[in-house]
Amino acid sequence: VATFASLAGKHVTEERVEHLLRDLLREEAGKQVTIDIIQRAVADHFDVRLADMTSRRRPASIAFPRQIAMYLSRTLTKGSLMEIGEAFGGRDHGTVIHACKKIVSQIESDASTRDAIGVIEHIVRQRMEQGQLRDSVARLLAGAYGFEQRRAITSSEAGWSPQVWLRLSELGVTGLRIAEDSGGFGGSAGDLLPVLQEFGKALLVEPFLASAVLGATAIAQAADAQNRQSLLPKVASGELV
């Protein structure tokens, strides 16, 4: 708060402190792995229903993924044994301990279990990163795309905002679907979808699809090596629209 006051040169009111702390807490919460994210990742990986994570069904095809989800919830989140048990259909802490011990034993003796956990952890990290980028884009657009702001943007000579474009590029959005060796982040369609959803909510008018997706794809697939090397980093950085 003191740093904000020094840099911004503004009087720090109680309301402003509350606003700053709310943003910081929201950002911190967005960085934490949740049991729900783990349950969804495990259910997707093992092709079981999300409801099976909390059900009383006990066939091995369901019980084993559920135990893996409990183990990951214990190792990746700050949840207590009781909190984890509650999130899995009101199970007691002894059930969670048993699940964790079983999966630890499986990790030591079974390569397929180790591989599955590695894949699921990657999925969890990926979804966390997607959520963090989505939240950053949502906060940006909430501040830059109010009704009056959007009307001013669409009424401008360009019909879109270079300032918003710059801030999107600073978030890495313009390089999301461009390969890393071309200055981008090499993101997947799954990485792009949450961003596009936020763009749709805000009715974004900046030429994101035309430039950073369709234009970049056309350059990557049709341009010669020299032009790819020259143009794609500029698209990724937001310099070339």
Whether 17 has a pLDDT exceeding 70, the answer reads no
Residues 6+ apart with CB under 8 A from 45: 65, 116, 119, 120, 123
Chain position carrying tokens 């884009």: 137
Dihedral class, residue 80 (left if φ above 0, else alpha if ψ from -120 to 50, else beta): beta
Whole-model pTM? 0.69
Sorted by sequence, the CB contacts under 8 Å of residue 6 that are 6+ apart come out as none
Asked if 76 and 37 touch (Cβ cutoff 8 Å), the reply is no
- Tens of pLDDT, residue by residue over 228-239, are 999 999 999 999
CB–CB of 48/62 below 8 Å? yes
Q: Are 184 and 178 in contact (CB under 8 A)?
A: yes
What would the pLDDT profile of 161-187 be if each residue is shown by its tens digit? 999 999 999 999 999 999 999 999 998
Annotate 137-152 with three-state secondary structure.
HHHHHHHHCCHHHHHH
Mean pLDDT across 67-94: 95
What average pLDDT does the chain have? 88
Sequence-ordered strand ranges (E) for 133-187: none
